[in-house]
């Protein structure tokens, strides 16, 4: 998994029953593959074809659900194949998106309590913590160095789903700097709401409390899923993240976390965010310089 261009070939088209077309852009996640997925999903949406019920982009694939009584399968496949051919060189694509600062209380009390309950028989190293283990498998000195690597460079939301509002996050760094951590040996039956987790090369934020198998590093201080739509950031939709969003984690203390919780309760919290034009070519050529430029857009917000 890398930000290096991989020279994508044509996607593979298969069917899932009578109502879904599955388009596999690549077998493995890459920034280029994810850009192609988002571009193809956008192009398909723009056609306004009658009969398409839902378009679900994922890390390196997308699923299109349709009504076969309205739209013939052969017509849908031919249309999407034509759109794919028309995408051209994916590395030249740009994404109009935003970067969002997500405050995180690392080494918090909530995930610390849960991980203590699920060590023996669940975790690779029952005597340690998830952050200690993550630092070890990445060859880092300690948990503090891992946390630094985790929040210094931004991430892209490669897909949103699994449970409502949960973003899968892929860090915008070279392959040799990708943080990779195995999931728990056996899934937990409990994960605190807003846990910042990691499995394989993907980070995530658990939108709701529930089962989970990703390593736990901390908790986000503000909601990412708000069915009541009580906060201004959720005025248009109850789910905060969209595929293509960029995320910059910001470490906060327990006191800062509690202050943000009070803002959320009062209905006054707003995410710090800024609009950006994300160039895939720039990201592939020089991730660090491109990341610096992107993160600087938050300075005046």
Q: Do 179 and 217 touch, CB atoms closer than 8 A? A: no
pLDDT score of 4 more than 70:
no
Domains and CATH numbers, the chain: 12-90 (3.30.1360.40), 96-296 (2.40.100.10)
Residue 209: DSSP 8-state: S
pLDDT digits (tens, 9 = 90+) for 32-78: 999 999 999 999 999 999 999 999 999 999 999 999 999 999 999 99
pLDDT digits (tens, 9 = 90+) for 150-194: 999 999 999 999 899 999 999 999 888 999 999 999 999 999 999
Once rounded to an integer, what is the mean pLDDT over residues 251-272?
A: 98
pLDDT-derived band at 28 (thresholds 50, 70, 90) equals confident
Cα 291 versus chain centre, distance: 16
Task: Write out the two tokens for 4.
Answer: 């290096």
pLDDT score of 3 more than 70:
no
Q: Do 268 and 286 touch, CB atoms closer than 8 A? A: no
Q: Is this prediction's pTM over 0.85?
A: yes
pLDDT digits (tens, 9 = 90+) for 278-295: 999 999 999 999 999 999
Residues 89 and 16: their CA atoms lie apart, in Å, by 29
Contacts of 229 by beta carbon, 8 Å cutoff, 6+ apart: 235, 237, 238
Residues 137 and 204: their CA atoms lie apart, in Å, by 19
Q: What is the pLDDT of residue 162?
A: 87
């Amino acid at each position: 998994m890398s930000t290096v261009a991989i020279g994508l070939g044509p996607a593979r088209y298969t069917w899932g029953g009578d109502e879904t077309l599955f388009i596999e852009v690549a077998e493995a996640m890459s920034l280029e593959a994810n850009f192609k997925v988002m571009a193809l999903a956008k192009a398909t949406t723009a056609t306004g074809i009658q009969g398409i019920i839902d378009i679900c982009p994922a890390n390196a694939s997308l699923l299109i659900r349709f009504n076969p009584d309205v739209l013939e399968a052969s017509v849908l496949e031919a249309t999407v194949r034509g759109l794919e051919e028309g995408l051209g060189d994916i590395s030249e694509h740009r994404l109009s998106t935003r970067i969002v600062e997500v405050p995180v209380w690392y080494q918090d009390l909530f995930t610390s309590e849960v991980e203590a309950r699920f060590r023996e028989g669940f975790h690779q190293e029952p005597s340690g913590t998830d952050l200690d283990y993550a630092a070890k498998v990445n060859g880092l000195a300690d948990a503090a160095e891992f946390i630094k690597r985790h929040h210094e460079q931004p991430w892209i939301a490669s897909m949103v789903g699994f449970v409502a509002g949960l973003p899968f996050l892929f860090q915008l760094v070279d392959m040799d700097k990708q943080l990779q951590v195995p999931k728990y040996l056996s899934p937990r039956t409990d994960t605190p709401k807003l846990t910042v987790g990691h499995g394989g090369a993907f980070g995530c934020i658990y939108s709701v409390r529930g089962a989970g198998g990703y390593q736990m590093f901390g908790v986000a201080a503000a909601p990412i899923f708000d069915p009541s739509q009580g906060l201004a950031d959720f005025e248009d939709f109850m789910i905060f993240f969209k595929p293509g969003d960029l995320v910059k984690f910001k470490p906060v203390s327990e006191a800062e976390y509690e202050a943000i919780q009070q803002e959320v309760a009062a209905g006054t919290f707003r995410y710090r965010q800024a609009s950006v034009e994300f160039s895939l070519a720039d990201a592939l050529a020089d991730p660090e310089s491109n990341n610096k430029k992107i993160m600087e857009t938050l300075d005046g917000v």
